[in-house]
């Protein structure tokens, strides 16, 4: 079964600036909690078809996945879905807000069945909300310090 986590954040920056920062694969390990590897597997490093090798440490577990961008609309939407390894999909939506940008994140993941899946779920589920809160704080710091105009 898929588990889905939603989160919305308000960032006091122009949408183009927030999008540019989130869209830069080199910045991803800086703001995505637990992510210790996000390496391009394709020459293309952004947009539909770009593919990455990712590892994320959650609690005692390190999850490996190959992830591909399946949806990309400049300044509006980035969707990444796993094509191999840990089953995950992440969708980031960017909208204008009164004081900057509203960022919506939907994180779907699928655990393996049986005892292994239940054990993994016990570790991952509480970690995911921490991941998202940490990610929001790091995004705020990263976008603040980014060179994007």
The mean pLDDT of 112-121, rounded to a whole number, is: 77
pLDDT at res. 6: 82
CB 56 within 8 A of CB 62: yes
Extract the tokens encoding 25. Answer: 């694969």
Indicate the SS3 state at residue 129.
helix
The band of 149, judged by pLDDT with boundaries at 50, 70 and 90, is very low
Residues 87, 12: Cα–Cα separation, whole Å = 32
**Beta pairing class for 100-110 and 87-97:** antiparallel
Is the sign of the CA dihedral 112, 31, 90, 5 positive or negative?
positive
DSSP-assigned letter for residue 148: -
- pLDDT value, residue 116: 75
- Binned at pLDDT 50, 70 and 90, residue 145 comes out as confident
How many Å separate Cα 5 from the centre of its chain?
12
For the stretch 26-73, pLDDT in tens is: 988 888 777 889 999 999 999 999 999 999 887 777 889 999 999 999
Q: What is the DSSP code (8-state) at residue 33?
A: T
How many CB atoms lie under 10 A from the CB of residue 36? 11
């Amino acid at each position: 079964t898929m588990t889905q986590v939603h989160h919305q954040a308000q960032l006091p920056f122009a949408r183009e600036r927030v999008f540019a920062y989130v869209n830069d694969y080199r910045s991803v390990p800086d703001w995505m909690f637990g992510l210790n590897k996000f390496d391009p597997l394709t020459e293309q490093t952004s947009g539909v078809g770009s593919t990455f090798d990712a590892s994320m440490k959650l609690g005692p577990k390190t999850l490996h996945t190959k992830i591909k961008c399946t949806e990309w609309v400049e300044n509006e939407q980035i969707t990444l879905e796993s094509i191999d390894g840990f089953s995950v999909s992440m969708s980031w939506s960017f909208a204008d807000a009164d004081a900057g940008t509203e960022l919506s994140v939907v994180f779907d993941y699928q655990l393996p069945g049986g005892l292994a899946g239940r054990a993994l779920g016990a570790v991952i589920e509480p970690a995911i909300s921490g991941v998202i809160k940490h990610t929001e704080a790091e995004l705020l710091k990263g976008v603040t310090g980014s060179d994007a105009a």
